[in-house]
Amino acid sequence: MSLLLAQDPTLADFGQDPWWLVLGKIVFAFAFGLLATLLGVWFERRVVGYMQVRPGPNQVGPFGLLQTLADGLKMAFKEDILPKAADKVVYFFAPTISVICAVTALSVVPFGPMVSIFGHHTALQVTDVPVAVLLLLACSSMGIYGSVLGGWASGSTYPLLGGLRSSAQMISYEVAMGLSIVAVFMTAGTMSTSGIVAAQGDATRLTINGWEIPAPGWYAILLLPSFVIFFIATVGETNRAPFDLPEAESELVAGFMTEYSSLKFALFMLSEYVAMVTMSAVTTTLFLGGWRAPWPITIWEGANSGWWPMLWFFGKVIALVFVFVWLRGTLPRLRYDQFMRLGWKVLLPINLVWILVLSGLRSIEDWDSRGKVIAVGIPAGLLLIATLFWPSRRPQPKPTAQEQVDSRPYGSFPLPPMDLQVPPSPRITRVVAEREPANIVAGSDSREV
């Protein structure tokens, strides 16, 4: 156990590396964001293709791995169109704001423990500060400015509406996300990302009222309500389905990206996927133990030392990215009022109540704090999940074919809704009324003959 604890970096371990090692870690974090984006687009198209019983990209490169690169080259050679009414400076810099904020958040994400690189003992993390999680929240909030400014600077109606939706979406779900992280602060006792990962490694056995139970270290289990709310808020912050309302093509053409083309459009797409990978890495750090191996791999003593933890970290990130893709291929887009109601009337009150309960449990002195969280947090999280996915109304039995025919007012032929039916022309109605007696006379004459 001492060997494992010795691998945990502290704040004192940062700022001691030579310049070339710091530069190498910066390049690695940047390359990880870009490479994960390229593979993330390919991964999403393949997974959604599998869900929809179709192959997906499989022609360019082995298994279609180079399809995303080919699409990027195609975008680079497309015509770059600048709207006449656009604010040229803001229009140009808006996509770069989103990309820079998404990549900057990776600077405080721990990819692994302390390792030896060319004789230097260093942490697999660019840097860490006592308020690293606040830096993550700041990057998440600033990234929305790219969408808002891009929609405003386009000088068009639909992009402006998409930008306004982005700002409202950020305000609604940033509050729930911040309250979820408050529970992590209270339990870990630090805002440092490396310290939060180290706190999740303290897996012990608890004795509660004479019963000895294992205490898992991951906050996804200890703080299950916070984990569920944080991940839902993460999906809303990254504009991913079913919360992709700022770029809803059925309502806003392409939202804030409508007037963008060529490389500027590619930058917006890049920022979306980099943000998805970054938020998956942040969720892994805060709630899934970071680079620590899951249980049964921890039986091996060397699982959390050396370079192996990077494998566990990347595995957790890929699993969360799969959940993002799974949601997109499964759930339909919410209406805007449903989306706002979920953020303000469901997630926010539940989060406030959970923080109040967690504070009360920590104030009890005669009961171990981790045991209190286990006894209350897990049932509360399961109740929250059941509440979110419980059907709102009982499904009605499907009517029979005869009942469907009888319910139609004009016989067995279906008609469009009343508001879509074209009213008859007054001129045609008058002409038909004038000709009707003549037709009747003509018919009677023909029958007499």
Residue-wise pLDDT tens digits, 70-118? 988 888 888 888 888 788 888 888 888 888 888 888 999 999 888 888 8
Sign of the torsion formed by the C-alpha atoms of 189, 193, 198 and 199 = positive
Q: How far is CA 68 from the centre of its chain?
A: 21
Contact 125, 111 (CB under 8 A): yes
- The gap from C-alpha 266 to its chain's centroid, in whole angstroms, comes to 19
- pLDDT given for residue 27 in this prediction: 93
Q: In this model, does residue 427 exceed pLDDT 80?
A: no
Whether 275 shows a pLDDT value over 60: the answer reads yes
More confident residue, 187 or 379: 187
pTM for this one?
A: 0.79
- Supply the pLDDT for residue 449: 36
Residue 251: Cβ-neighbour burial (10 angstroms; 0-12, 13-18, 19+): middle
* Tokens at 244, concatenated: 């992709």
Q: Which two tokens stand for residue 111?
A: 């990819």
pLDDT tens, residue by residue, 382-408: 666 666 666 556 667 777 767 766 666
Q: How far is CA 255 from CA 133, 135, 159, 406, in A?
A: 30, 28, 5, 43
Spatial separation of the C-alpha atoms in residues 184 and 181, rounded to whole Å: 5
Both structure tokens of 332: 């339909």
Query: Kindly report the CA angle at 220 between 183 and 207, in degrees rounded to 5?
Result: 85
Cis? peptide before 242, omega within 30° of 0? yes
Instruction: Please tell me what DSSP assigns to residue 344.
Output: I
Q: Is 41 left (phi over 0), alpha (psi -120 to 50) or beta?
A: alpha
Q: Which residues contact 180 (CB under 8 A, 6 or more apart)?
A: 226, 227, 229, 230, 233, 351
Q: Is the pLDDT of residue 368 over 80?
A: no
